[in-house]
Structure 1
Amino acid sequence: MTFQVTVQPSGRQFSCAADETILAAAIRANVGLPYGCKNGACSSCKGMVLSGSVTHGPHQERALTAADEAKGFSLFCCAKPHSDVVIEAREVLGLGEFPIKKLPSRVAKLEKVAHDVMTITLQLPASEKLQYRAGQYIEFILKDGKRRSYSLANAPHISEQVTLHVRHMPGGLFTDHVFNTMKEKDILRFEGPQGTFFLREDSDKPMVLLASGTGFAPIKAIVEQAMHIKSKRPMILYWGGRRPRDLYMHALCEEWARTIPNFSYVPVVSDPTPEDNWDGRVGFVHHAVMQDVQDLSNYQVYACGAPAMVEAATTDFSAVCGLPTDEFYADAFTSELDLAAG
């Protein structure tokens, strides 16, 4: 059985099978609903069901609480329709411009840049160009059919190779392989580009770039893209980690601060130890933003990292600093542990 989904306020319509999620059907129809993780953990696809009924599959409670669901909110990545439905969602225009492809790639380089972070450089097929927007991600397709998502850490104009930042999660199916057995020249299959977290190039608003851990990867791509298009927009990068060693490309960020006009960099560490000799900012990284930029009403914010950080920034920047909700763009990095917690 197939139902009709209508998106408000755009009025776009698409069909959705009863055993299909609304988000999957939207992607298939090139309708740009916002999304991130696609598995009920990050809440990027959260919207309102105005009419009709849906059933939600497994998801994290913090992404969609029972109280939110009672008010009519939905996570479209895990919502399946029981009838024709009308939903309210902020549609991302032009998302279908770059087709999602399944591509093979060859591991060109592995570089351990921190005790628990590896960069993987992938050589793409000469006959296939991966078109994407700075900030988007790809999904590796593993041999057992499982998938793992990683953000592209370089701007799209560097298209012959792409780079990813992988944090080691001990016991993780994919990251154990990356750190212990993966070799250069190995073949990996992926599907992409994915996600609606990317640089909005049609704005001239100043940008706050907020990252925790390897959430720096898509932020790096956004900075490189802004440089490539010779953007004059002011950019402030706040990068947080537990200890200074977690800011694994700190020197690059300092170089950007020296060489890019209207760019500044604020590293923030939450739990430095005496041997770190850290004399910089200490605390939660999004609190540092609120201390420095108390009025965010004329800003765009791009936030990427741990779900707790993204969720806190979403709430606090809007409620305390006046950031318009439609100028907050986010990608919450969810691990298997995060998903299990839901």
Structure 2
Amino acid sequence: MSFKVALSFEDGVTRFVNCGPTETVADASYKARINIPLDCRDGACGTCKSLCESGEFDGGDYIDDALTEDEAAAGFCLPCQMVPTSDLVVQIPTTSDVAKTTAAAHPATVTAVDRLAEGAFALTVELDDRAALAFLPGQYVNISVPGTDQTRSYSFSTGADAARLSFLIKYAEGGAMSEYLAQRCAVGDRLELTGPMGSFFLRESTRPLLLLAGGTGLAPVLSILETLATAGTTGRPIHLVYGTSFDTDVVYTDLLDEYTTRIPGMTWDLVVADPETVHPNSGYVTGLITPDHLHHGTADIYLCGPPPMVEAVRGHLDAEGLEVTHFYYEKFTPASAPADEQDAPAKVAASETGVVPADEPEVDAVLVVDTPAGGSSPAAPAALAPATAPVTPLPSAGARLVSRLPGDPIPSIEARPRGYTPPAPGTHPAAAHTPDTLAGIAARPDGHTPPVPGLFPAAGAVAEPRAPIAARPDGYTPPQVTRPTAATLATPRSETITSGPGVVSGEIHPTISHSDAQFDARMALELGVVELTMGRLDRARLSEFRMLAESANQYIDGDRFLDPEKFTAANSQFHEFLFRCTGNDALLQAYRLLEVTQVMNSVLPDARWVSQDIVPEHLEIVDAFETGDRDAASYLIRRHTAHAKATMRTAMDRQGLGAAS
């Protein structure tokens, strides 16, 4: 028997939860994703103190400092301890927004603006709260345009640890940000950044890499390369194909050459659409993709460019019968482009990639990039369009162009010298392919001792770090999501797509029935989210995380499911918790749309066996977050993935046997 509990918030919103006969109101609330105030969960702090307006309940155990006798007599209660014995109405001393999160805003100051090419700027800023912003290579932020009510989305062009952040921005005549940079921007101007955003980022992997960049789509690729260089990647074949429309669009060739010295195993090619190019390769990115670059289907592909380029590459891979296992892409769609042009495959070397609101006709923004920690290399754009497209004109003669400092000359952009020969592609032998098993993490390292659960700094000992997770504004609407169709799920590939104003991100993997790649895709997302949330969760969120783990664990006894259907629902809430904490809807939706989640919902309700490591791993992952141990959390997520695979495979085999009989 369960009871209905009405949670009445200060802003007039009332939410209802169902509470079991032995369940506390706090536990039921968090299971329903309602983040009521909470701290100790032991009836010792009084943080959750509320007023019960009607109904009967068992008040549980608590100390007088948390709830006095007079307060209890007046109807006050502690939701972390109270267990209903009838339907209840409880006044919660906060607003309903506490259960909602969004990306944080970060004020910044302009420190430099560079004109990199005919149609490109590099903007560099210094954040007031740099330590509060964590991002992954490939993600972007929204930037407000001073003097307007417009925002634009730009990818970082500096490393995740750099003191100052740079962005690559296309000049589009009449565009809000373009005209601001060309006419009004000056060192010292104030901006506001919101983020990070997006689900396009470098996943953790040791597989070979094929990077494809169209024009200013080079930006997130530079971010990826910088991350690989900083991490000291060795022996992993990495090849980049970079395409532009004209020689005047080519940027950062010296930086790319430098990466070949910093990253063992890296090669790259440049291709320019203009037949009159001085560079060795004329044509399109697809013309330089060979089977050798895919390493028998084991390579991870990262593609960033305009919609025609993205679709052209996908069509090329299909037409040539080239195998793809892990394919990540991001395309920025100009609002002015006709729908049929945005969706139709086209041979395009590359094109400006930008995010703009639907009411803005110009593509005014470009993608994210990462550069060395502490470095100052700004990301550079390159206009990529069909060879027939005109070159973007310079602003009028009266336009003021701001360089690194007022009065400094605008740096020239030189074409690569005639006769230059890029590194030859495919010079690395194909890596021997082994299944992406996690044998190296099957057992804990000798001497590993999990942290003690529930450890928090003593009150007043250390100021709690700021958590850049704010309440969603009223009227907030999450971005549109495209769910996989039945036809998609019937094919050997599974595709998840998330979209926002002007940007579409996606990833393609084999379906769950063909490969464990779906589980690896889930793990890769989780490992990325660890980087965004570790050390940034306050006590209330850590308490919620632990309750969600315990909620899922109650449906397992040893290596047996007690109630696999309820476990599936509770486990889903536990696994998506960190994604909700990022405030990044694209990441959350990318996680929810992975096919593995659908298969869990269809397979696990009939399962009986479960890896007996699942229960302790749920709690140990929470332990790692409570103690701020990033390495332990990453290790546990990898290990947990291996045990989840075993559980799922066993359930699928059992289901197959049942169907056969």
Is the CA contact 1:299–1:323 (under 8 Å) kept in the aligned structure 2? no
SS at match of 2:336: helix
Who is 2:288 aligned against? 288
Amino acid in the other structure paired with 2:282: V
Task: Give the equivalent residue in structure 2 for 1:238.
Answer: 241
* Residue 103 (structure 1) shift: 1.1
Match of 2:112 among 109, 112, 116: 109
Match of 2:333 in 1: 334
* Match 2:186 to one of 162, 168, 183: 183
Where does residue 316 of structure 1 map in the other structure? 316
Q: Distance in 2 between matches of 1:321 and 1:126?
A: 49
Shift of 1:222: 0.5
Pairs aligned (count): 240
TM-superposed CA distance for 1:298, in Å, is 1.0
TM-aligned CA deviation for residue 169 of structure 1? 1.1
Q: What do residues 222-267 of structure 1 show as CA deviations (whole Å, max 9, x unaligned)?
A: 0000111112222111110011221211121122224431111101
Q: Aligned in 2, Cα 1:245/1:101: closer, same or farther, shift over 3 Å?
A: same
Q: Segments of 4+ in structure 1 off by > 2 A? A: 126-129, 141-147, 257-260, 290-296, 314-325, 333-342
CA contact (8 A) 1:295 1:321 kept: no
Alignment partner of 1:130 out of 122, 133, 157: 133
Quick one: distance in 1 between partners of 2:214 and 2:121?
Answer: 16
Alignment of 1:1-342 (within 5 A): 100-126=103-129, 128-142=131-145, 144-158=148-162, 160-201=163-204, 203-232=205-234, 233-273=236-276, 276=277, 278-290=278-290, 293=293, 297-324=297-324, 327-338=326-337
Distance between the aligned counterparts of 1:175 and 1:291, measured in 2?
40
Task: Return the alpha-carbon distance in structure 2 between the equivalents of residues 198 and 184 of structure 1.
Answer: 30
CA displacement, residues 15-63 of structure 1 (integer Å, 9 cap, x when unaligned): xxxxxxxxxxxxxx8xxxxxxxxxxxxxxxxxxxxxxxxxxxxxxxxxx
Paired residue type of 2:251: Y
User: Within 1, Cα distance between the matches of 2:318 and 2:248?
Assistant: 31
* Offset of residue 317 of structure 1: 2.3
Question: Per-residue deviation at 1:282?
Answer: 1.2
C-alpha separation in 1, matches of 2:198 and 2:130:
24
Equivalent position SS for 1:315: helix
Is contact 1:155-1:222 (8 Å) kept? Answer: no
Contact 1:318-1:324 within 8 A present in 2 as well: no
Displacement, 1:296?
A: 5.4
Distance 2:222 2:102 in 1: 23
1:270·1:284 contact (CA, 8 Å) conserved in 2?
A: yes
Query: Cα offset for 1:318?
Result: 4.4
The CA distance in 2 between the partners of 1:281 and 1:113, in whole Å, is 23
How has the CA–CA distance of structure 1 residues 321 and 147 changed in structure 2, closer, same or farther, with 3 Å as cutoff? farther
Q: Measured at CA, do residues 177 and 127 of structure 1 come closer, stay the same or move farther in structure 2, by a change above 3 Å?
A: closer
| Shift in alpha-carbon separation, 1:318–1:191, aligned structure 2, 3 A | farther
Any idea what SS the aligned residue of 1:323 has?
coil
Look up the SS of the partner of 1:198 in the other structure. Answer: coil
CA gap of 1:294–1:219, structure 2 versus 1, over 3 A, is closer
Asked if 2 retains the 8 angstrom alpha-carbon contact of 1:122 and 1:163, the reply is: yes
Contact kept in structure 1, 2:232 and 2:263, CA below 8 Å: no
The answer to whether the 8 Å contact 1:210/1:286 transfers is no
The 1-side partners of 2:294 and 2:211 are apart by 15
- Is the CA contact 1:295–1:323 (under 8 Å) kept in the aligned structure 2? no
Between Structure 1 and Structure 2, the one with more strand by share is 1
| CA apart distance, 1:319 | 4.8
Q: Which has the higher helix share?
A: 2
Query: Is there any run of 5+ residues in structure 1 with no aligned partner, and where?
Result: 1-28, 30-97
- State the secondary structure of the residue aligned to 1:330: strand
8 A contact 1:154–1:218 mirrored in 2: no
- Compared CA separation, residues 272 and 124, structure 1 to 2 (3 A): farther
Q: Do the aligned partners of residues 297 and 321 (structure 1) sit closer, same or farther apart at CA in structure 2, a change above 3 Å counting?
A: farther
Q: Aligned in 2, Cα 1:296/1:109: closer, same or farther, shift over 3 Å?
A: farther
Cα distance in 1 for residues equivalent to 2:178 and 2:158 = 20
Q: C-alpha deviations, 1:148-180, integer Å up to 9, x for none? A: 11111222122x211111111112121121122
CA contact (8 A) 1:153 1:219 kept: no
Q: Which residue of 2 aligns with 1:12?
A: none
Letter in 2 for 1:167: K
User: Radius of gyration: which is bigger?
Assistant: 2
SS for the counterpart of 1:118 is strand
Change (3 A) 1:155 1:286: farther
| Contact residue 153 and residue 163 of structure 1 kept, 8 A | yes
Q: 1:339 to 1:196 in 2, by over 3 A?
A: farther
Please tell me whether the aligned partners of residues 239 and 268 of structure 1 are also in contact (alpha carbons under 8 angstroms).
yes
Structure 1 contact 303–329 (Cα < 8 Å) conserved:
yes
Where in structure 2 are there 5+ consecutive unaligned residues? 1-32, 34-100, 343-661
Amino acid in the other structure paired with 1:320:
E
Residues 223, 194 of structure 1: alpha-carbon distance in 2 compared, 3 angstrom cutoff: same
Letter in 2 for 1:156: A
Instruction: Report the TM-score when normalising by structure 2.
Output: 0.34
Cα pair distance change 1:144/1:272, threshold 3 Å = same
Q: 2:232 & 2:262 partners in 1: Cα distance?
A: 13
Q: Are residues 99 and 286 of structure 1, via their aligned partners in 2, closer, same or farther at CA, if it must alter by over 3 Å?
A: farther
Q: Secondary structure at the match of 2:169?
A: strand
Partner SS, residue 212 of structure 2 = strand
For residue 301 of structure 1, report the CA deviation from its aligned partner.
Answer: 0.7
Residue-by-residue CA offset, 1:94-123 (whole Å, 9 max, x unaligned): xxxx97211111111111121211111110
Q: Deviations over 1:46-84 (max 9, x none)?
A: xxxxxxxxxxxxxxxxxxxxxxxxxxxxxxxxxxxxxxx
Equivalents in 1 of 2:290, 2:265: separation in Å?
A: 19
Q: CA RMSD in A?
A: 2.4
Sort the Cα spacing of 1:229 and 1:335 in 2 relative to 1 into closer, same or farther, 3 A: same
Structure 1 residues 105 and 318, CA gap change in structure 2 (3 angstroms): farther
Q: Which amino acid aligns with 2:272?
A: V
Distance 1:112 1:127 in 2: 25
| Pair 127,239 (structure 1): closer, same or farther in 2 beyond 3 Å | closer
Aligned with 2:224: secondary structure? helix
The answer as to whether partners of 1:136 and 1:197 remain within 8 angstroms in 2 is yes
- Measure the CA separation in 2 of the matches of 1:338 and 1:139: 22
SS of residue paired to 2:132: coil
